[in-house]
Amino acid sequence: MKPRTDSRLFLIAMLATLAAPIPFANAKGTNAEQGTEFFHVFQGQRRQLTLDPTRFAVLGEDQVTRSLSVEADLPIPGWKLIRPAPGARSSDAVVTEIRSFAMREDLGFVSPVFVGLDGGPVIVTPTLLIRIDPEIAEADAERMIADQFNGEIIERDWANMQGAYRVSAASRSGFAVLDAANALAETPGVLWAEPDMLFTGSHGLLPTDPLFSQCWGLNNTGQSGGLPGFDMDCPEAWDVTTGDPSIIVAVLDNGVDPTHPDINQIGGADFTTDLDLAGAPVNNCDSHGTAVAGCVSGIINTIGGVGSAPGCVVASARPFISNVPCDGQWSSFSSWTVDALAWAESIGARISNNSNGYGFTSSAIASMYSSTKASGMVHFASAGNDSSTSMSYPSTLSSVNGVIALDRFGGRASFSNWGFGAAFSAPGQSIVTTDRQGTLGYSTTEYTQVNGTSFASPYTAGVAALILSLEPGLAPTEVELAMQTGATDLGAPGYDAEYGWGHVNALASIDRSPGVFQITAPACDSGLAGRTIAWQDSGFATDYSVEIATDIAFTNVEYAQTSIVASQHTVPIGALSPCATHYIRVTAINTFGQTVATVNPCEVAFAFPGDINIDGVVDTADLGGLVGSFGGPGPFADINGDGIVDTADLGALIAEFSQSCN
């Protein structure tokens, strides 16, 4: 990798620091000393953290923590939630107790607990995630880090992001690590810096009765009182393609059953501290990912349900550890999601799906989503199930397409979140999909029926996989555009917060067929005003523009239609040379810049305007034609195109009399 040698930004950063020195441990607004004012820096902005005064977290050996008032063991080894001493249930008291415990050498690390977006715990860890502007020389960047942290760099250019570091801090205090991360995050030249937070999240899942045999979201025939035709038109799309197995959808979840007979998949990977089972479920509560995967690539094989892209494959990326007993919650570190996305990129995945809501917003995660999209990956995430206008993270990221859930009756599911920033809507209620085999899934069979935005999102991801199966060269923004133009509009016309771009439609999103494009009027009619070309079209799935070109002129007609329409355009005669053979070509071009139809309506030797009979010479035959049409409306012999054959036309003919192309 090319070394970073430019030190100018570093010098600017250092001058700024020297101009306003701040003793980080005692600065106004820092977390540790103020006691009640806590924040972290997310994408350059301070985000408030709410302290949970009822508990704190420790990392230590069991024999050491056994003497403490353990409230709960977290599913990540070594971490425990501790109850403060009786009477120490205020913010100031718990801060004091945390500082006291941080001085104990027998404990590895002590951290405050903050209240997450989902109400679960958010815990500072001794690992930091940092990214310095790649323009700053590596030695200078690492000096900036060393000035803040007495620790060790674990990984350079982490997750293939230039200038990104994972750093192990020497401090045993979560407050000290958080303060130092915030100070570094607000230093010029630093793109982001944050602790590798341990946080919880949840699946967008509301299980219902198993073994419902009709997949209405794929093909709604009115079953169970639903609205016939309110579906994604998947069977019609499968007539074009069921998906290409070279298109990989990475499923970020708690594991996918690797031996399920009805999921089209390749080997996965585990990014947690659990036993590495190559992306398979590990504990008894790891069932969600299998249900999600079936919505993408459930196989057409007569034994169960079907996904929206049955010919494509999923790859399980497991960055979450489910809580036991099963409560729909999980625990994770920010770095695990980043590593999962980096792995997905490394195996050539073109799409990712994350049907989860995080309790913490991470700059590192946001940066990785943005980076992998720039590299060619399209991202989808569930909007959440709180009946709220506040969508869950990471569906709120601009690089991620958040998906709203629909019911079978033609509207948004009652439980679904929505809001500006949501991209699409898709079926998410009473969804039949695959279940973990054996007795550990949601049912005792290999299939289940579920509700949730968790399943609207992978349905949508599958449609993106169908698009890339036909056109693998499309960029993520082009895939998104195909889905936007192909979506069935719901709610207010165009984009709206209630449904995003509308109900995802597989057929309309993949259809690039030429349709019908017909010239309906002569392209080479006479007239001084020009040659008029009229056309009619039908069958185009996306908007398109019309280009009209001659050998010496070009016109781009602003024209966008998706239904049977008729229109016309006039090619000015002044742009054409008399006596030369010219062509006129009409081309329809879709929104991806692809030619969907080309028509060559005429190739003609254009004569002088007075050459009414177009025989190459203005003579008495033309004069006779004009006299015979005198007083009429034209267009024959209406040389000046004013709608009547009169003395003005006679004058124009006389002026050209005897002109010849022969």
Catalytic positions are 253, 288, 454
DSSP-derived secondary structure for 45-83: EEEE--EEEEEEEEE--HHHHTTS-EEEE-SSTTEEEEP
- Do the Cβ atoms of 587 and 595 come closer than 8 Å? yes
Which residues are CB-contacts of 314 (< 8 A; sequence separation ≥ 6)?
Answer: 248, 249, 250, 251, 256, 263, 264, 265, 266, 293, 296, 297
> Which residue matches tokens 């006129």?
584
Q: Is 646 left (phi over 0), alpha (psi -120 to 50) or beta?
A: beta
Reading the block at residue 258, the tokens are 């690797």
Mutual orientation of helices 620-629 and 647-656 as an angle, nearest 10°?
180
Residues paired with 566 in a beta bridge = 536
Ramachandran angles phi, psi of 4, nearest 5° = -90, 115
Which residues are CB-contacts of 174 (< 8 A; sequence separation ≥ 6)?
Answer: 57, 98, 102, 109, 110, 111, 112, 123, 124, 125, 195
Query: Measuring CA to CA, how many Å separate 353 from each of 42, 269, 459?
Result: 22, 15, 10
SS3 string, 354-369, reads ECEEECCCCHHHHHHH
- Do the Cβ atoms of 323 and 75 come closer than 8 Å? yes
- Do the Cβ atoms of 423 and 417 come closer than 8 Å? no
Query: Strand 531-538 relative to strand 190-195: parallel, antiparallel, unpaired?
Result: unpaired
Torsion on CA atoms 144, 147, 151, 157, rounded to nearest 10: 0
DSSP-derived secondary structure for 454-492: HHHHHHHHHHHHHHHHH-TT--HHHHHHHHHHHSBP-SS
SS3 of residue 141 by DSSP: helix
The sign of the torsion formed by the CA atoms of 218, 222, 226, 227 equals positive
Strand order in the sheet with 554-557: 554-557, 544-550, 581-590, 595-605
- Do the Cβ atoms of 454 and 294 come closer than 8 Å? no
Q: Is the peptide bond before 325 cis (omega within 30 degrees of 0)?
A: yes
Distance CA 86, CA 389 (A): 39
The residue among 599, 600, 568, 557 whose CA lies nearest residue 581 is: 600
DSSP-derived secondary structure for 597-638: EEEEEEEEE---TT-TT-SSB-SHHHHHHHHHHTTS--STT-
Residues paired with 58 in a beta bridge = 80, 110
Which residues are CB-contacts of 567 (< 8 A; sequence separation ≥ 6)?
Answer: 534, 535, 536, 546, 557, 559, 561
Q: What is the DSSP letter of 24?
A: G
Which residues are CB-contacts of 207 (< 8 A; sequence separation ≥ 6)?
Answer: 442, 448, 449, 450, 451
Measured CA angle at 469 (ends 467, 473), to 5 deg:
80
- Do the Cβ atoms of 318 and 253 come closer than 8 Å? yes
